[in-house]
Amino acid sequence: MNWLREHKLFSVIAGIVLVLCLVIIVSFLSAGGSSFIGRGTHKVVHVIETPLSYVTSGVRNTVAGVFRYSSLLKENEELKEQVAKLEQENKDLTLSKDDLNQLERLSGVFKFDPYKNKRSSIAARITEIDYSNPFIVFTVDRGTEEGIKNNSIVVDGNGLVGKVFDCGKGWSKVVSILSENNNVSFKVLRRTSVTGVISANSEGELSGYVMNDRAKIVKGDTLVTSGIGVYPEGIIVGKVSTVDYDEDRQLKVITVRPSVDFESLQKVAIFK
Q: Report pLDDT digits (tens) over 102-137.
A: 555 655 554 555 555 555 778 899 999 886 776 689
Q: How do 159-168 and 171-176 pair as beta strands?
A: antiparallel
pLDDT band, residue 55 (cuts 50/70/90): very low
Mean pLDDT of 78-93: 60
DSSP track, 117-173: T---EEEEEEEEE-TTSTTTEEEES--GGGT--TT-EEEETTEEEEEEEEEETTEEE
User: Do residues 267 and 105 make contact, with C-beta atoms less than 8 angstroms apart?
Assistant: no
Give the span between the Cα atoms of 236 and 234, in whole angstroms: 6
Instruction: Report whether pLDDT(241) > 90.
Output: yes
**What is the share, in percent, of the chain residues with pLDDT greater than 70?**
56
pLDDT single digits (tens) 6-44:
555 556 566 666 666 665 665 555 544 444 444 555 554
pLDDT band, residue 70 (cuts 50/70/90): low
Instruction: Report whether pLDDT(220) > 90.
Output: yes
Residues in contact with 111: Cβ distance below 8 Å, sequence separation at least 6, in sequence order:
none
Residues in contact with 150: Cβ distance below 8 Å, sequence separation at least 6, in sequence order:
164, 165, 166, 167
The domains of the chain are located at: 1-111, 184-261
Q: How many CB atoms lie within 10 A of CB 257?
A: 13
pTM of the model as a whole: 0.60
Q: Which residue has the higher pLDDT, 208 or 105?
A: 208
Strand partners, 155: 160, 269
**What is the share, in percent, of the chain residues with pLDDT greater than 90?**
33
Lowest mean pLDDT segment, chosen from 54-68, 154-168, 184-198: 54-68
User: Do residues 183 and 225 make contact, with C-beta atoms less than 8 angstroms apart?
Assistant: no
User: Do residues 174 and 140 make contact, with C-beta atoms less than 8 angstroms apart?
Assistant: yes
Lowest mean pLDDT segment, chosen from 46-50, 84-88, 180-184, 232-236: 46-50
Mean pLDDT of 183-203: 90
Give the span between the Cα atoms of 224 and 232, in whole angstroms: 10
pLDDT band, residue 145 (cuts 50/70/90): very high
Give the span between the Cα atoms of 177 and 161, in whole angstroms: 6
Give the span between the Cα atoms of 210 and 198, in whole angstroms: 9
Residues in contact with 16: Cβ distance below 8 Å, sequence separation at least 6, in sequence order:
none
- What is the amino acid identity at position 128? E
Residues in contact with 213: Cβ distance below 8 Å, sequence separation at least 6, in sequence order:
245, 250, 251, 252
Confidence at residue 59, expressed as pLDDT on a 0 to 100 scale: 44
Q: Which residue has the higher pLDDT, 232 or 87?
A: 232
Give the span between the Cα atoms of 163 and 170, in whole angstroms: 17
Mean pLDDT of 239-254: 91
Task: Tell me the CATH number of domain 184-261, given options 2.60.120.10, 2.40.10.350, 3.30.465.10, 3.90.950.20.
Answer: 2.40.10.350
Burial class (CB in 10 A: 0-12, 13-18, 19+), 110: middle
Confidence at residue 140, expressed as pLDDT on a 0 to 100 scale: 95
Q: Which residue intervals of the chain are DSSP H helices?
A: 2-6, 8-29, 36-107
pLDDT band, residue 263 (cuts 50/70/90): confident
Confidence at residue 40, expressed as pLDDT on a 0 to 100 scale: 53
| Segment holding 185, helix H or strand E | strand 184-188
Confidence at residue 154, expressed as pLDDT on a 0 to 100 scale: 93
Most confident of 41-55, 106-120, 191-205: 191-205
Lowest mean pLDDT segment, chosen from 38-52, 112-126, 162-176: 38-52
